[in-house]
Amino acid sequence: MQKNWENKYIVFFDGDCGVCNFWVQWILERDRNDQFLFASLQSEFGQKFLSERGLATDVFNTMYLWKPNQYYLIKSRAVLQIANLLGGIYKLSGIGKLIPKFLSDKVYDIISRNRMKLANQKCYLPTPHQRKKIY
């Protein structure tokens, strides 16, 4: 891990999921303020994150957004916060917070259950700069 990872937002995702990898790439391309790092839930770092919080270490269908020493968000709230942090037009996603969490998480769960059907497994090749952000 780089020295200042505590000052970043860390996105934990299913490293074996094409949809998840697509969204990691999407965030990387829009992270103009260099504020995100990424770790697969299957990685040593991802497993440590899950186990330290008493979360299942063998279930990878949830995206987490972690601000070290402050908070972590899951599912739809993680997605909405990521969009908000990206800024610009993506801040409009804040409207999504008006939707009750149980409803937005229900939509998240439907997408999550079908994620392997939604995107094929593509080999994503990050740039050297982007590689430094993935653990």
Structure confidence by residue, pLDDT tens digits, 105-131: 998 888 888 776 665 555 555 667 776
Per-residue confidence band for 6, with pLDDT thresholds at 50, 70 and 90:
confident
Per-residue confidence band for 19, with pLDDT thresholds at 50, 70 and 90:
confident
How far is Cα 113 from Cα 61, in angstroms, rounded to an integer?
A: 8
Q: Indicate the pTM of the whole model.
A: 0.83
Q: Specify the pLDDT at position 20.
A: 84
- For residue 17, which amino acid is it? C
CA distances from 106 to 35, 53, 58, 60, 76 (A): 28, 23, 21, 16, 9
CA distances from 53 to 28, 63, 72, 75 (A): 26, 14, 10, 16
Q: Specify the pLDDT at position 125.
A: 57
- Other CB atoms within 10 A of residue 17 CB: 22
